[in-house]
Protein backbone atom coordinates (compact mmCIF):
# COMPACT_ATOMS: atom_id res chain seq x y z
CA UNK A 1 0.00 0.00 0.00
CA UNK A 2 1.45 3.35 -0.98
CA UNK A 3 2.07 6.02 1.55
CA UNK A 4 -0.55 8.29 -0.06
CA UNK A 5 -3.29 5.68 0.29
CA UNK A 6 -2.62 4.81 3.91
CA UNK A 7 -5.56 4.98 6.28
CA UNK A 8 -5.99 8.33 7.92
CA UNK A 9 -6.62 8.60 11.62
CA UNK A 10 -10.19 9.72 12.32
CA UNK A 11 -10.47 13.42 12.86
CA UNK A 12 -11.05 14.33 16.50
CA UNK A 13 -14.36 15.98 17.29
CA UNK A 14 -14.36 19.54 18.51
CA UNK A 15 -15.10 20.22 22.16
CA UNK A 16 -18.61 21.47 21.33
CA UNK A 17 -19.31 18.41 19.16
CA UNK A 18 -18.18 16.10 21.96
CA UNK A 19 -20.40 17.97 24.41
CA UNK A 20 -23.43 17.72 22.13
CA UNK A 21 -22.81 14.01 21.60
CA UNK A 22 -22.57 13.49 25.35
CA UNK A 23 -25.72 15.51 25.95
CA UNK A 24 -27.59 13.58 23.26
CA UNK A 25 -26.76 10.39 25.17
CA UNK A 26 -27.95 12.02 28.42
CA UNK A 27 -31.23 13.12 26.81
CA UNK A 28 -31.88 9.62 25.45
CA UNK A 29 -31.20 8.16 28.90
CA UNK A 30 -33.56 10.68 30.50
CA UNK A 31 -36.33 9.91 28.02
CA UNK A 32 -35.91 6.19 28.61
CA UNK A 33 -35.58 6.20 32.41
CA UNK A 34 -37.10 9.31 33.96
CA UNK A 35 -39.46 11.21 31.65
CA UNK A 36 -42.52 9.01 32.10
CA UNK A 37 -42.33 9.32 35.89
CA UNK A 38 -42.01 13.10 35.69
CA UNK A 39 -44.91 13.29 33.22
CA UNK A 40 -47.07 11.09 35.47
CA UNK A 41 -46.43 13.48 38.37
CA UNK A 42 -47.64 16.48 36.37
CA UNK A 43 -50.58 14.53 34.93
CA UNK A 44 -51.71 13.62 38.44
CA UNK A 45 -51.94 17.31 39.34
CA UNK A 46 -53.62 18.20 36.07
CA UNK A 47 -56.23 15.53 36.91
CA UNK A 48 -56.99 16.90 40.37
CA UNK A 49 -60.72 17.68 40.56
CA UNK A 50 -60.22 21.30 41.66
CA UNK A 51 -57.49 23.90 41.83
CA UNK A 52 -57.91 23.93 45.60
CA UNK A 53 -57.20 20.19 45.85
CA UNK A 54 -54.16 20.57 43.58
CA UNK A 55 -52.82 23.37 45.80
CA UNK A 56 -53.38 21.29 48.94
CA UNK A 57 -51.52 18.31 47.46
CA UNK A 58 -48.72 20.47 46.07
CA UNK A 59 -48.26 22.21 49.42
CA UNK A 60 -48.02 18.83 51.13
CA UNK A 61 -45.69 17.51 48.38
CA UNK A 62 -47.98 14.51 48.30
CA UNK A 63 -48.18 11.76 45.69
CA UNK A 64 -51.63 10.43 44.71
CA UNK A 65 -51.04 7.46 47.05
CA UNK A 66 -50.38 9.77 50.01
CA UNK A 67 -46.61 9.29 50.17
CA UNK A 68 -44.32 12.31 49.97
CA UNK A 69 -42.31 13.22 46.87
CA UNK A 70 -38.59 12.49 47.18
CA UNK A 71 -37.53 16.12 46.77
CA UNK A 72 -39.43 17.14 49.89
CA UNK A 73 -39.03 14.04 52.04
CA UNK A 74 -36.76 15.84 54.52
CA UNK A 75 -39.13 18.73 55.18
CA UNK A 76 -40.97 18.63 58.47
CA UNK A 77 -44.72 18.18 58.64
CA UNK A 78 -45.01 21.55 60.37
CA UNK A 79 -43.18 23.24 57.46
CA UNK A 80 -45.54 21.67 54.93
CA UNK A 81 -48.58 22.69 56.99
CA UNK A 82 -47.25 26.26 57.02
CA UNK A 83 -46.83 26.12 53.23
CA UNK A 84 -50.45 25.02 52.88
CA UNK A 85 -51.65 27.81 55.19
CA UNK A 86 -49.63 30.37 53.25
CA UNK A 87 -51.13 29.31 49.91
CA UNK A 88 -54.69 28.82 51.16
CA UNK A 89 -57.03 31.40 49.65
CA UNK A 90 -54.35 32.91 47.37
CA UNK A 91 -55.91 33.54 43.91
CA UNK A 92 -53.29 31.55 42.02
CA UNK A 93 -55.83 30.81 39.30
CA UNK A 94 -55.53 34.40 38.11
CA UNK A 95 -51.85 33.97 37.17
CA UNK A 96 -51.29 34.31 33.43
CA UNK A 97 -47.87 32.65 33.15
CA UNK A 98 -45.69 30.18 34.97
CA UNK A 99 -43.26 32.95 35.87
CA UNK A 100 -46.06 34.96 37.49
CA UNK A 101 -47.22 31.84 39.36
CA UNK A 102 -43.68 31.05 40.51
CA UNK A 103 -43.15 34.62 41.71
CA UNK A 104 -46.38 34.60 43.72
CA UNK A 105 -45.64 31.23 45.32
CA UNK A 106 -42.06 32.27 46.06
CA UNK A 107 -43.30 35.45 47.77
CA UNK A 108 -45.65 33.43 49.94
CA UNK A 109 -43.58 30.41 50.97
CA UNK A 110 -39.85 31.15 50.60
CA UNK A 111 -39.75 33.00 53.95
CA UNK A 112 -40.96 29.82 55.70
CA UNK A 113 -38.19 28.07 57.63
CA UNK A 114 -37.05 24.97 55.75
CA UNK A 115 -38.41 26.06 52.36
CA UNK A 116 -35.86 26.60 49.61
CA UNK A 117 -35.81 27.29 45.89
CA UNK A 118 -36.49 23.66 44.98
CA UNK A 119 -39.69 23.51 47.06
CA UNK A 120 -40.83 26.79 45.49
CA UNK A 121 -40.17 25.49 41.97
CA UNK A 122 -41.73 22.07 42.53
CA UNK A 123 -44.83 23.60 44.12
CA UNK A 124 -45.22 26.04 41.23
CA UNK A 125 -44.68 23.31 38.63
CA UNK A 126 -47.31 21.03 40.21
CA UNK A 127 -49.89 23.80 40.55
CA UNK A 128 -48.95 25.06 37.10
CA UNK A 129 -49.82 21.65 35.67
CA UNK A 130 -53.37 22.09 36.97
CA UNK A 131 -53.54 25.61 35.52
CA UNK A 132 -52.00 24.66 32.17
CA UNK A 133 -49.00 26.90 32.90
CA UNK A 134 -45.57 25.38 32.32
CA UNK A 135 -42.22 27.20 32.18
CA UNK A 136 -40.98 28.61 28.89
CA UNK A 137 -37.53 29.20 30.39
CA UNK A 138 -35.32 27.00 32.57
CA UNK A 139 -35.51 27.88 36.26
CA UNK A 140 -32.31 27.38 38.23
CA UNK A 141 -31.98 26.33 41.84
CA UNK A 142 -29.22 24.67 43.83
CA UNK A 143 -29.23 21.32 42.00
CA UNK A 144 -29.78 22.64 38.48
CA UNK A 145 -27.10 25.30 38.96
CA UNK A 146 -24.52 22.54 39.36
CA UNK A 147 -25.63 21.02 36.06
CA UNK A 148 -25.66 24.43 34.37
CA UNK A 149 -22.19 25.21 35.70
CA UNK A 150 -20.85 21.89 34.39
CA UNK A 151 -22.06 22.96 30.93
CA UNK A 152 -20.45 26.42 31.28
CA UNK A 153 -23.86 28.08 31.21
CA UNK A 154 -24.76 31.18 33.22
CA UNK A 155 -25.33 29.19 36.41
CA UNK A 156 -25.63 32.29 38.60
CA UNK A 157 -28.72 33.43 36.69
CA UNK A 158 -32.26 32.91 37.94
CA UNK A 159 -33.45 31.72 34.53
CA UNK A 160 -31.94 30.39 31.31
CA UNK A 161 -33.42 31.15 27.92
CA UNK A 162 -33.77 28.05 25.69
CA UNK A 163 -31.59 29.79 23.09
CA UNK A 164 -28.70 29.77 25.61
CA UNK A 165 -28.76 25.98 25.89
CA UNK A 166 -26.55 23.57 23.94
CA UNK A 167 -28.34 22.27 20.79
CA UNK A 168 -28.93 18.82 22.29
CA UNK A 169 -31.10 20.36 25.04
CA UNK A 170 -33.01 22.94 23.00
CA UNK A 171 -35.51 20.41 21.68
CA UNK A 172 -36.74 19.53 25.19
CA UNK A 173 -39.32 21.58 27.13
CA UNK A 174 -37.73 23.80 29.80
CA UNK A 175 -39.19 21.78 32.71
CA UNK A 176 -37.52 18.66 31.28
CA UNK A 177 -34.22 20.52 30.90
CA UNK A 178 -34.49 21.52 34.57
CA UNK A 179 -34.97 17.85 35.43
CA UNK A 180 -32.03 16.79 33.25
CA UNK A 181 -29.66 19.39 34.73
CA UNK A 182 -30.63 18.24 38.21
CA UNK A 183 -30.60 14.47 37.71
CA UNK A 184 -27.37 14.45 35.69
CA UNK A 185 -25.51 17.23 37.53
CA UNK A 186 -22.77 14.89 38.76
CA UNK A 187 -22.54 13.04 35.45
CA UNK A 188 -22.16 16.32 33.54
CA UNK A 189 -19.15 17.22 35.69
CA UNK A 190 -17.53 13.89 34.85
CA UNK A 191 -18.25 10.16 34.58
CA UNK A 192 -20.80 8.99 37.11
CA UNK A 193 -24.27 7.64 37.57
CA UNK A 194 -27.32 9.90 37.32
CA UNK A 195 -29.26 10.40 40.51
CA UNK A 196 -32.97 11.12 40.92
CA UNK A 197 -32.29 13.24 43.95
CA UNK A 198 -32.14 16.97 43.44
CA UNK A 199 -31.17 19.53 46.04
pLDDT at 187 over 50: yes
Range of the domain at 162: 138-199
Which of 74, 105, 131 terminates a domain? The answer is: 131
Is there a contact between 64 and 125 (Cβ–Cβ < 8 Å)? no
Lowest-pLDDT choice from 4-18, 69-83, 90-104, 135-149 = 4-18
Mean pLDDT for the stretch of residues 12-39: 88
Any domain includes 16 = no
Residue-wise pLDDT tens digits, 86-127:
999 999 999 999 999 999 999 999 999 999 999 999 999 999
Is there a contact between 137 and 161 (Cβ–Cβ < 8 Å)? yes
47 and 121 fall within a common domain: yes
127 and 188 fall within a common domain: no
Any domain includes 14 = no
Which of 106, 131, 156 terminates a domain? The answer is: 131
118 and 190 fall within a common domain: no
119 and 165 fall within a common domain: no
Any domain includes 23 = no
Distance of CA 10 to the CA centre of its chain: 37
Is there a contact between 37 and 190 (Cβ–Cβ < 8 Å)? no
Orientation angle between helical segments 15-33 and 35-46, nearest 10 degrees:
60
Q: What is the pTM of this model?
A: 0.87
| Total count of domains within the chain | 2
148 and 79 fall within a common domain: no
Amino acid sequence: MSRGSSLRRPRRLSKSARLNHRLAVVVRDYLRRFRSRAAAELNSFESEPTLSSAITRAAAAERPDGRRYDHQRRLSQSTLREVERSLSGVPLGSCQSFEELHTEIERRILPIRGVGELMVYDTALRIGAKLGLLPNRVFLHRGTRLGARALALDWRARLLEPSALPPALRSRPPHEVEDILCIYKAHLRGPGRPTRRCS
